[in-house]
Chain A
Amino acid sequence: MCTYQTTTLGVSGSGKGARGWFPLTDATVYFDHPVHASAEHTLNIDLRNPERGPDSRVAVELDPDAARALAEAILRTLEAVPQALRTAARSV
């Protein structure tokens, strides 16, 4: 099935796409049919900078278990970092 389940959010950081590194401004997270992965549905993430054009995009299509493990790893990693470093990172 085509779930259309989509969430969009603003992000800041950098990503490396087909033309090299670029600043990220937007993310789209959705659970739907993949373009490339060999599964009927995957958790897909597009990290984008629409102002730089449609190809300024870093895309992943993840198995749902892998996506959850990745999300948990991200949260674990962030929680292990001292609060002062996270605050300092934002002010650089």
Chain B
Amino acid sequence: MTDAMRAETVQFPGDGGDTIEAYLAQPLDGPPTGGVVVIHHMPGYDDGTKEITRRFAAMGYLAVCPNLYYREAPGASPDDAAATARAQGGVPDDRLVGDVAAAASHLRALPTSNGKVATIGYCSGGRQSFLAACSLDLDAAVDCYGAFVIAPPPEGLPLKVTPLGDRAGDLSCPILGLFGSEDQYPSPDEVAELESVLTDAGKPLEFHTFEGAGHAFFATDRSSYRPEAAVEGWQRIADFFVRHLATD
């Protein structure tokens, strides 16, 4: 086994059969392995998210990040695409689930897949990772500081999101939640309520809140980056995926 990997832009049918673009990274050799669907943050399908996708391949997993804004802005720069999507109220939930299902199927069809797939999402993608895990048959899910899972968004915003607390009973897999104590979206109270709702529903969960960190502490290209929280968070993700994506 070497540490060689391949990373490239691919296309496949997403929700409703629409062609979507995605960034796929995979180890070039090695034993069958699990897959990770990376759900990008609200600022879009950007260099930072592609770097995260490659990191999962370096960890030995098949990883794919669908461009959730491809329909509105094919070929656009990530910031222009994100501006377009924001003005339209974000990605509709049904379409998100369809696109993640397509990405998971794409991973499972790869010759080195062991059939297991997890999702991980950041910012708005954290909520979407939870949504996907409540809607699809997955092996693990990670929610990195996703807002509006429990609390409704402020009134008057064009954002098309609704709280998902009533979906907790549908969660199909163990969930890892990574949050910052200084974040307000989601607030520590919202995180505590989500933990309570999941516990009441009998769902396996592992939540960590990092002191001194706010929203987007994994984002290395932003001033919100908090190295201690990010390093510890990456370790938690690695441990979680070893437990839930390993070949049976």
Contacts and interface: CB of A to CB of B under 8 A. Distances in A.
Nearest to B43: A35
Nearest to B85: A54
A5 interface: yes
Nearest to A36: B79
Nearest to B42: A2
Contact of A4 (B79, B157, B214, B222): B157
Contact of A35 (B79, B147, B157): B79
A12 interface: no
B76 A28 contact: no
Given A33-B43, A35-B43, A55-B77, A6 B185 contact: no
A48 B216 contact: no
Contacts of B185: 1-4
Contacts of A59: 79, 83
A4 B224 CA distance: 16
B32 interface: no
Nearest to B77: A55
A72 interface: no
B158 A1 contact: no
Nearest to B41: A2
